[in-house]
Structure 1
Amino acid sequence: MKFNIKVAAIIAIFSSGMLVFITAILLYKGHEHLMMLRISNSKEVIHHFDMALRETALWSLGLLLIVTVISSVLIASAITRPIQELNGLALKLVRGDRNLSIGYTINDQIGQLGRSLKQLDETLNVYEWRRKEMTQDLAHEIRNPLASIKSYLSAFEDGVWTATPDRLQACIEELDRLIMLVGELDTLNDINSPIFQVNMSVQPIADLIEKSVVSLASELLAKEIQVKLDLDKTIHAKVDALRLNQILHNIIKNSMYHIQEEGSLFIKLYIEKNDYIILVRDNGVGMDEETSEKIFERNYRGGNRYTGNGIGMTITQKLVEAHEGTISVKSEKNIGTTFCIHMPIST
C-alpha cells in the first residue's frame, strides 16, 4: 500500500471513529433528557423524537464521513507530496545524478531534510570532482616514472646506453618515487579510515624534533642548509611520536625544496597558553598567495620549486588535526615560508 493511502486511511479511520462516538453520545443524551420531561402521551413523542434524532444523526454522519474521506485524501496528499519528492531526490542521488533542485522550500522539518539532501548533493558533487581530479593526477604521477624507467631499460636493451651506475641510480630514484607515492596513498587511506587512531603518550617534544632533524641531516648537509634550533626542553606533552616525526619530516622536506643552496632553516618550540607551538621558518623562494592557501589540499602543486606528489601536506594537516591541533602557513615570495603548528599540551 502506498504511503499516501496509508496516511489517508489513518486520518479517515480516526476521524470517523470520533464522529461515530460523538453521534452515539448525542443520541443517548438526547433520549435521556427527553425521558426526564413529563409529557402526556410521552411514548409517541419520544418515539418520533428518537426517529428524527437518528435520521438527522445518520444524514449528518454520512455527509461528515464523505467530507472526512475527501479531506483525508487531500491532507495525506499534501503531507506526503514533499516526502515523495525527497524520496525521488534521494533515489536520483543513489543513481549518480547531481545538481538537483528541490521544489519544497517551507522552513519546517521536511524543508530542513530537503536542504540537507541538497547539501549532500553538493558535497557528493565536490567529492566526485575531486576523485576524478585525483585519478588524473595519480595517473600522471605514476605514468612519468614508469615512462622514464621504460626508456632507460629500452636504451639498455637496444645497446644505445651502457648500464652505468649513474643511469641505474636514475632508475632506482624513479622506482623510489613510485614507492613513496604508494606509501603516501596508503597513509592517506589509513588517516581517512574511521578506525584511525594516534597512539598518544607523554613525550619530550624537543627530543622528538631533534631526532626528526637528525634523520634528514644528510640531505640538509648536501644542500648546505644551516639549521638553527630554539627548543624549550621542559615541554612534555601527549603525542604520537611516530606521527609527529612524520609531520616534521613533511614540513622540513617541503622547506628544503624551496630553500636555495646555503640557505637556512629555523625551528622553534615554545609554550603559548595551553598549547605548545612548533615554528618552522625558512628563507627560501617562498610561495605565492594561491599556493599558501591551497597547499594543504589533496593533489595540489603550486607553480614553484616544489615537485612533490601533492599528498604530503594533506597528510600533515590530517595528522595535526588527529592530535586536536592546527597548522597554518605564511609565505612571501623571495623572503621565505613559516609553518606554525599549535598542539594542546594535554589531550
Structure 2
Amino acid sequence: MKFNIKVALIIAIFTSCMLLFITAILLYKGHEHLMMLHITDSEELIHHFDLALRETALWSIGLLIIVILISSLLIAKALTRPIQELNHFALRLVRGDRNLNISYTINDPIGQLGHSLIKLDETLSSYEWRRKEMTQDLAHEIRNPLASIKSYLSAFEDGVWEATPDRLQACVEEIDRLIILVGELDTLNDINNPTFKIIMKEHPIASLIEKSIIALASELLEKDIHVKLDLDKTIYAKVDALRLNQILHNIIKNSMYHVQKEGTIFIKLLKNNGSYTIIVHDNGIGMDEETSQKIFLRNYRAKNRYTGSGIGMTITKKLVEAHGGNISVKSEKDIGTTFYIQMPIST
C-alpha cells in the first residue's frame, strides 16, 4: 500500500471514530433530556424524535465520512509530497546524479532535511570533482618518470646501454621523484578535503624560518648557494609550524632550482599592522610574465630548467590561504624572483 494511502486511512479512521463517538453522545443526551419532559402521548413523540435523530445522524455521518475520505486523501497527498520528493532526490543521488534542486523550501523539519540533502549533494559533487582531479594529477605526474624508467630498462634489456652506476642512479632518482610526487599529491588531497584543519599555536616566526633553512643546509652547501637573513625576532604569531615549514621549504626549493651556482637567497621577516610579511628573494634566472602569473596553478611548469612536479606551489598557496594569508610573486628574467607571504599575527 502506498504511503499517502496509509496516511489518508489513518486520518479517516481517526476522524470517523471521533465523529461516531460524538454522534452517540448527542443521540444519548438528546433522548435523555426528552425523557425528562412530561408530555402527553410522550411515547409516540419520543419514538419519532429518536427516529429523526437517528436518520439525521446516519445522513450526517455518511456525508461526513465521504468528506473525511476525500479531505484525508488531499491532506495525505499534501503531507507526503515533500517526503516523496526527498525520497526521489535521495534515489537520484544514489544513481549518481548531481547538482539537483528541491522545490520544497519551507523552514520546517522536512525543509531542513531537504537542505541537508542539498548539502550532501554539494559535498558528494566536491568529493567526486577532487577524485577526478586527483586521478588526472596522478596520470599526468606519474607518466613522465615511469616513461623515463621504462626507457632506461628497455635500453638495458636490449643491450643498447650498459647498466653503469650513473645510469642506475638516474633510475633511482626517477623513483625518488615518484615517491616525492605521491607525497605531494597526498598532501594536496588532504588540503582540498573539507575537513582539513591546521593546528594553530603561537611560535617565534624567525625561529621557524631558521629551522627551515637548517633542514635544507646540505643541499644549499652542495649547490654553493648563500643564504642571507634579516629577521625580526620579536614577531610571535599563531601558525601551524609544520605547515609553515612546508611553505618555506617549497619556496626555498623553488629558488634553489632557479639560482645559479654561488647565487644568493635573501629572506626577510618584517612586521606590518596586525600582520607580518616573509620576503624570499633570489638572484636566479627569474621567470617570464606568463610563469609569474601561472606558477600557482596546478601542474604548471615553466619552460626552463625547473623539474618540479607542478603542484608544489599550488600546495604552498593553499597552505598560506589556510592561515588566512596571501602569497604573491614578482620576477624578471635574468634578474631574480621575489615571493611575498603576508599572514595575520593572530587568527
Q: TM-score by structure 1 length?
A: 0.77
- Partners of 1:24 and 1:254 lie apart in 2 by 91
Cα offsets for 1:34-54 (capped at 9, x unmatched): 345453333432332222112
- Deviation of 1:64 (Å): 0.9
Cα offsets for 1:248-307 (capped at 9, x unmatched): 21233345456677464433153643xx53523436427658637x64xxxx12353565
Q: What are the within-5 Å matches in structure 2 for residues 303-314 of structure 1?
A: 304=302, 307-313=307-313
- In structure 1, give the amino acid aligned to 2:299: R
- Counterpart of 1:291 in structure 2 is 294
- Partners of 2:68 and 2:145 lie apart in 1 by 75
Counting aligned pairs with the same residue, the percent is 67
- Counterpart of 1:330 in structure 2 is 328
- Counterpart of 2:90 in structure 1 is 90
Cα offsets for 1:134-153 (capped at 9, x unmatched): 21321232221121112123
Change (3 A) 1:127 1:196: closer
SS at match of 2:213: helix
Cα offsets for 1:88-147 (capped at 9, x unmatched): 221121122345565x35545455654654554455345434422321321232221121
Change (3 A) 1:151 1:238: same
Number of corresponding residues: 336
Change (3 A) 1:58 1:242: same
Q: What are the within-5 Å matches in structure 2 for residues 51-130 of structure 1?
A: 51-98=51-98, 100=100, 102=102, 104=103, 107-109=106-108, 110=110, 113-114=113-114, 117-118=117-118, 120-121=120-121, 123-130=123-130
Change (3 A) 1:228 1:45: farther
Are the aligned partners of 2:330 and 2:339 in contact in 1 as well (CA < 8 Å)?
no
Change (3 A) 1:332 1:251: closer
- Partners of 1:241 and 1:118 lie apart in 2 by 36
Gaps of 5+ in 1: none
Change (3 A) 1:339 1:38: farther
- Deviation of 1:178 (Å): 0.7
- In structure 2, give the amino acid aligned to 1:291: K
- In structure 1, give the amino acid aligned to 2:326: S
SS at match of 2:299: coil
- Counterpart of 1:268 in structure 2 is 269
- Partners of 1:49 and 1:286 lie apart in 2 by 106
- Counterpart of 1:301 in structure 2 is 299
Cα offsets for 1:36-93 (capped at 9, x unmatched): 5453333432332222112211221122112212221222123223322321221121
Gaps of 5+ in 2: none
- Partners of 2:36 and 2:16 lie apart in 1 by 31
Change (3 A) 1:22 1:287: farther
- Partners of 1:327 and 1:18 lie apart in 2 by 67
- Partners of 1:22 and 1:147 lie apart in 2 by 87
- Deviation of 1:180 (Å): 0.4
Q: What are the within-5 Å matches in structure 2 for residues 236-255 of structure 1?
A: 236=236, 240-255=240-255
Change (3 A) 1:205 1:66: same
Q: What are the within-5 Å matches in structure 2 for residues 153-192 of structure 1?
A: 153-188=153-188
Are the aligned partners of 2:320 and 2:341 in contact in 1 as well (CA < 8 Å)?
no
Q: TM-score by structure 2 length?
A: 0.77
Change (3 A) 1:314 1:12: farther
- Deviation of 1:244 (Å): 3.2
